[in-house]
Structure 1
């Protein structure tokens, strides 16, 4: 048939519609695959982190809790029920460590307020803010061993601090040998050594603060105390919650180095914390099952304290 004949230009009925439907069907399948891939992408990206947490965190936690219900020594691996937990309840050193946890909770607002105020001074550029900005992070880069050794020299009975107190007519204080004040001394050193990280978090929170609120407060004649209480604190509620929880976790799990160097749990066991107790039972007494029970109790304490803190701070934020 000649190429230019009318018959060659005639297409079978419905051929155009079939081609269009085929293209549409392929497009729908492509969109379906793209949509499925987009839905799966977050899970694929999160999967490695979740796997690491499960393998390195949750699974050891489960094993530790299970191990805490077994015995030590001759009863190694033998189920003993709540025997280890009952022994912890009757151990004066462990009870002292839990009382010290209560002391840490009471001192926690001070540990959070110090970096919070310093961050506020830096943000508001009060006199001396350049000094704070220059040196605030220096203690955080020091090893706890170095910090403990330095303060052992400074706070010794014949150390420079007592020499200064003696010069002004105040008797020497046994900072690390008096059971009534030794724990306060170690906590104070820990706050000094670690407040730099919390201060960095506060400075990051200030970057989200609406500067117009501060300008309005200044125009209204608000004092520094009123600006902090009525503007800054309500605006940084989430940051404060985060710092409270992380600071509490750090105080419960990161003071071993200072305790070991400065007091070794003394005097008279007054500076024991659950973390130090766990090390003592595991490393010194070779009682891993009892140490696992103490670790489980510490985990529960941190969980309860953290949830209570978040609940109270959220309620306070809603009231403001």
Structure 2
């Protein structure tokens, strides 16, 4: 895993540097408090994966314009906005290993800064001069809001199905990956078949990424993940490892898992027992297999771009989605 990560970082070092500069430059002209709160989440160690995908997809389609990194900030701003809002909705206390913004400042400041970042993303989309890009970004914001509402409405609901879970993560995660890849192709004026191929890559990568993230909630601790293991469960979020295990478990084990779901102050020992049940009833293995299936679909979508260094990096990113530790 470390070798793959190092390979990716070497390939995209200049792109990441350009994205960092663009993120900061786009905040500098604005009200100091907005910049401080936005910077608290933006510059707390994020991977910049979403803007990087846009840059790589644009390059893969032959784009070499001067504003690629600035346009790519759209996707980090949208992502950061959702994190600010989600942390407040979920009453979270940690994000990326540090206190969440609404605890450092206050709830209204966090909400309004998230709103600003959404607006900043839309205004930057308008700067592309492409109506289809504006349409993509507007669709992302709509879908992400719907995904959060769906998830909030079904907190702690043991009847949540795999299909309903997939719709939630499509809205909350996959549409942002998909939109980043599609926008890269659009600003490069790529042919329709290339736009659709990269859109499919982003969609499947986003699903795989979220499934892998959901697995980390049961397998990693605070020092690696940046939040306490079991945080999603404490917030009443049922994800695929648990949904599948519940569907396979006999009544006694299902009742044991249900009792824990209804007890947000469960102990570390109780959580460890739940993780054992997830392994025993196939929830961990099933989720890993589904994530791997979507990674394979993502890689298959870009097979037609052979012979380009950006394609190799996108292939590596897809593989890394499965093996990352945070």
Quick check: TM above 0.5?
no
Determine which structure has more spread, i.e. the larger CA radius of gyration.
1
TM-score calculated relative to the size of structure 2 = 0.31
TM-score calculated relative to the size of structure 1 = 0.31
Higher relative contact order (CA 8 A, sep 6+): 1
